[in-house]
Structures are given as C-alpha cells and as structure tokens.
Structure 1
Amino acid sequence: MNALLKRVWIGLAATLVVSLAAVVMPDQVQIDDDGRVHLGAPAPTPSPSTVAPTPESTSPPLTRDEVDEVIRTAVSAAGLDPAQGRPIGATGANSNRTGWTAVREKTAAQSDMNTICADLERQGWTLNPNGDRPDPSARSYKRGGWYLLVSTRGKTQAPSTTSALTDSQTYLTLAGLQLNLSDIPVPLPEVTVRIG
C-alpha cells in the first residue's frame, strides 16, 4: 500500500512540475490531450537575429522562507487553515521548490483559488505574461526569481484507479519553483514524455 501511495504522490509531483513548466515556458512545453508532454520545440535553424530571453528582475530575490510565508498568507486569506493542507517540496530554506496542496470540494475550489490569486496580487506578485493560457483552473505568478502556479486541477491528473478524490473533489494547489531562466538554453531540444 505504501508503494502505491508513493507512486501516486510521485505522479502528482511530476504532473505539477510539468504543469508549472508549461505555464512558465509555454513555447517550450506543450501538453497534448492524450497526456503526452513535448519539451522543447523542433530545432529550427537559428538566425542571427534570435534574441535571448530578457532576465526577470524588478523585484528583489525572495528566499524560500519568504515564499512559504506568502503561501501561508494567501491560503489564510481564502479562509483556509494552512496546517490542514500538505506541503510540497523538501523542507529547508535552501530548497528551490515549495508549495501547499489540499483536497477541496470543486464547488468551493474555484472561489478559493480566486481569493488566493487576489491576495498574491495584493502581496506584489504579478501574473506571468509568458505563461497564462486561457484556463480558469490554473494561473501563474512571478516575483523575486520565483514562479507560483495556483491550480484547481485534480481528478483528471491522478491515476483514476488510485485517486483518493471523489467525483466532487479536486486538489487546490500552490506550487512554487525558483528558476533562473537565463541558465536555460533556448530553444530546448525536443523531447516527448508520456504521463499516465
């Protein structure tokens, strides 16, 4: 049973990382309807006029502890108890991943997500202009070298035979990732991964 739960959590973590990558770099990560993930774009012949991505940098860098506090504050603003959720990422201030997730009724999850997003904006986080596609179940924000993905995706991303969610539930998730996009080569080589 422990091995099964471990596989479920690993699958959810992988899905969150891929989803966050797709939001942060939409030109480099595409997710098909059948669950295939394409990393990178077919390598066109580089032209001399190719411009490197502009480094993000208007707000001072945030520490992992500061991002954890941002998440706790935003979750509390939605009337939820941060202690009732499950942390994402390894503990310790030096980790470049963090987050929070909890099971919520679908009827409440979207409202909770909207309140969390409003509080992130109040705290100075800006919508990621390169990441958001028209999708009401996920929004991404950036600030101080960190990217936050807020989503209400659940049942469809977990293996159907092992999900602990009922049909009326979903995961409300804030997934944070610290990225230095200037270290990522563009374009990425093309790689296809099958999830599920």
Structure 2
Amino acid sequence: MNALLKRVWIGLATALIVSLAAGVLPDHIQMYADGRIHLGAPAPTPSPSTAAPTPESTSPPLTRDAVDEVIRTAVSAAGLDPSQGRPTVAAGANSNRTGWVAVRENTAAQAEMNAIGADLERQGWTLNPNPNGDRSDASRSYKRGGWYLLVSTRGKTQAPSTTSTLTDSQTYLTLTGLQLNLADIPLPEITVRIG
C-alpha cells in the first residue's frame, strides 16, 4: 500500500511540474503516445521524413529606447502629454526595465487606460489573456519583441509609497515595461514515463 501511495504522489507531482512547464515554455514539453514526457530542449525527430513543426513567428527584439517611444506614442494617443507624467526608471539605469506613471482623475483613468491599450495593439503589441477575467477595469498585459507592458491604475491603497499625495478621486495611471526572455532559462532534460 505504501509503494502504491508513493507512486500516486510521484505521478501527481510529475503532472504538476509538466503542466506548469507547459504553461511557461510549451515548445520545451513533448508528450508521447506511450506515456513518456520529455522536458527540456526539443528531442531530435526520430525520422528525417517527418517534418519538424514550424516555430511560432515572433517580433524582432526591441531595445529599451524603442519601448520608451512606444510608451510615449500610446500615452499621446490617449490624449495625454507624456511630460505630465514621469518615468519610473531613469534613462540608462536599466536596459530591461522601463515605465511611465501619472496622477489622473479616477473618472478619466479607465478611458485613458483603454485608449493606451488600443494604441499598443495598433502598434503590434499582443494582448495577453487576462487572469482577472474580462473586467473592464482590470490591468492589461501586452507583449512584443521580448518585452511585456503592463497597463494599470493604482489607487491610494496601492500607491508606490506611503507619502502619496493622491486624493480620493485620483489614481496612478502606469505603464510598466519589462524585458523577459523565458527561452533563455535553461530547463534540465528529463524524460519521465507514466504508467
């Protein structure tokens, strides 16, 4: 009975690891009909007659300067002056992070957030699925060229510092950019047989 319970726990742990890895790096998970699961770099194809799947096309990598320009363009498209806000990361301080923040009235912030998102999509950014459902006031994440942009509003209770000067009718409108390349994170090659 103890050996059976151990096999069940190992199977559950393996299933959890595989499902998490499949969500983060789907092109590094291979499941075979005989129950084997391969984690890591794609295994070589068994036969040269079988064509390898075509990798998903991606945008060329973007520089931080290009992402800063995307942010300025999207903010301007929402009817705002980018100079009325402030950068969240100093120029030249970090090449893989950037951002912009401005104090806005609650009544206008949602429409401005929507306009910024619409312009990001016009510029070729892809909207990520929203884990918070389809709420219109939820933060939105966009991706392109190895960068992720989060567009959100943060009220007084979520302000970046305790010395916030926000009134009850104001919020922070923020764009936060982060460069991530998940393909560069090495996964160990593991082959597991279930069953």
Which TM bucket (shorter chain)?
0.5 to 0.7
Task: Map 1:43-62; keep pairs closer than 5 Å.
Answer: 45-47=13-15, 50=18, 51-52=21-22, 53-54=25-26, 58-62=58-62
Task: Map 1:53-92; keep pairs closer than 5 Å.
Answer: 53-54=25-26, 58-92=58-92
CA–CA separation in structure 2 for the residues paired with 1:141 and 1:79? 20
- Identify unmatched segments of 5+ residues in structure 1: 1-43, 187-196
Structure 2 SS opposite 1:170: strand
Q: Rate the CA distance shift 1:87–1:160 in 2: closer, same or farther, 3 A.
A: closer
- Decide whether the 8 Å contact of 1:87 with 1:98 is kept in 2: yes
Task: Map 1:99-138; keep pairs closer than 5 Å.
Answer: 99-129=99-129, 131-134=130-133, 135=135, 136-138=137-139
- Decide whether the 8 Å contact of 2:87 with 2:100 is kept in 1: yes
User: Shift in Å at residue 96 of structure 1?
Assistant: 0.4
State the aligned residue count.
Answer: 142
- Identify unmatched segments of 5+ residues in structure 2: 1-11, 28-55, 188-195
- Decide whether the 8 Å contact of 1:113 with 1:172 is kept in 2: yes
CA–CA separation in structure 1 for the residues paired with 2:160 and 2:69? 31
Structure 2 SS opposite 1:92: coil
Match of 2:143 in 1: 142
- Decide whether the 8 Å contact of 2:132 with 2:138 is kept in 1: no
Q: Rate the CA distance shift 1:93–1:164 in 2: closer, same or farther, 3 A.
A: closer
Q: Rate the CA distance shift 1:49–1:150 in 2: closer, same or farther, 3 A.
A: closer
Structure 1 SS opposite 2:26: coil
User: Shift in Å at residue 93 of structure 1?
Assistant: 8.2
Code of the aligned partner of 2:120: L
Structure 2 SS opposite 1:152: strand
Code of the aligned partner of 1:171: Y
Q: Rate the CA distance shift 1:180–1:161 in 2: closer, same or farther, 3 A.
A: closer
Q: Rate the CA distance shift 1:46–1:111 in 2: closer, same or farther, 3 A.
A: same
Q: Which has the higher contact order (CA 8 A, sep 6+)?
A: 1
Q: Percent identity?
A: 76
Structure with bigger gyration radius: 2
Q: Rate the CA distance shift 1:183–1:46 in 2: closer, same or farther, 3 A.
A: farther
